[in-house]
Amino acid sequence: MKATTKQIIMKTLKVTAVFVSFVIIGVVGYRYYNRPVQTWNPDAFEARSPDKIGTKSQGQRYWVGDAAGSGFYITDETVSTGDKKVYCVSGGVTSDTATFSLGDSTGTAKNGYFTHCASLTVNDKRHLNFSVTDGQIQVYRVDRKR
């Protein structure tokens, strides 16, 4: 039995519709999964040392870490001690290079913008520490992913 042109077109449309729906579901799921669950801005950083908050011309605020040993911590009351979650720190490097630590993860960035993500646990006080090891850094925000 030979398929008619109409049957071939209908079959092609059905297959295309199923494929497109899977792609849409994949894109929406990926975007949902990678959206931050919680965000801390520089005003929420605790024990800032130095206690410097700068503002860019477009209004974006940032914490200034201008020397080795500079740092702060965030408190995440929504997780239990020992639960691994993905935390990301975003900012800019104003020296040639900079090294820093977020919890027990270390990162290195060159002059310009950076984002450093790591799967970490908070300490027994539910704090997550950030500190500059070398260089000068501006931190715009810290996010927790799903």
pLDDT by residue (tens digit) across 47-105? 999 999 999 999 999 999 999 999 999 999 888 888 899 999 999 999 999 999 999 99
Could you tell me which residues come within 8 angstroms of residue 111 by beta carbon, excluding any fewer than 6 positions away? Answer: 93, 94, 95, 96, 97
62 and 134 share one domain: yes
Q: Are residues 63 and 102 in the same domain?
A: yes
Same domain (yes/no): 19, 64 = no
Per the structure, the complete domain to which residue 2 belongs is given by 1-35
Share above pLDDT 70 across residues of the chain, in percent, rounded to a whole number: 99
Count of CB atoms within 10 A of residue 83's CB?
11
Query: Is the same domain home to 2 and 24?
Result: yes
Same domain, 26 and 49: no
pLDDT in tens, 23-61: 999 888 888 777 888 999 999 999 999 999 999 999 999
* One domain for residues 69 and 123: yes
The verdict on 62 and 117 lying in the same domain is yes
CATH at 70: 2.60.120.260
97 half-sphere exposure, CB direction, 13 A CA radius? 4
Contact 44, 74 (CB under 8 A): yes
Is residue 133 predicted with pLDDT exceeding 80? yes
Same domain, yes or no: 21 and 50: no
| Statement to judge: residues 140 and 112 lie in one domain | yes
Q: 88, 90, 143: which is closest to 112 by C-alpha?
A: 90
Q: Structurally, how many domains does the chain consist of?
A: 2
Residues 42 and 108 in one domain: yes
Same domain, 42 and 27: no
Residues 53 and 31 in one domain: no
3-state secondary structure the chain: CCCCHHHHHHHHHHHHHHHHHHHHHHHHHHHHHCCCCEEECHHHCEEEECCCEEECCCCCEEEEECCCCCEEEEECCCCCCCCCEEEEEEEEEEEEEEEEEECCEEEEEEEEEEEEEEEECCCCCCEEEEEEEECCEEEEEEEECC
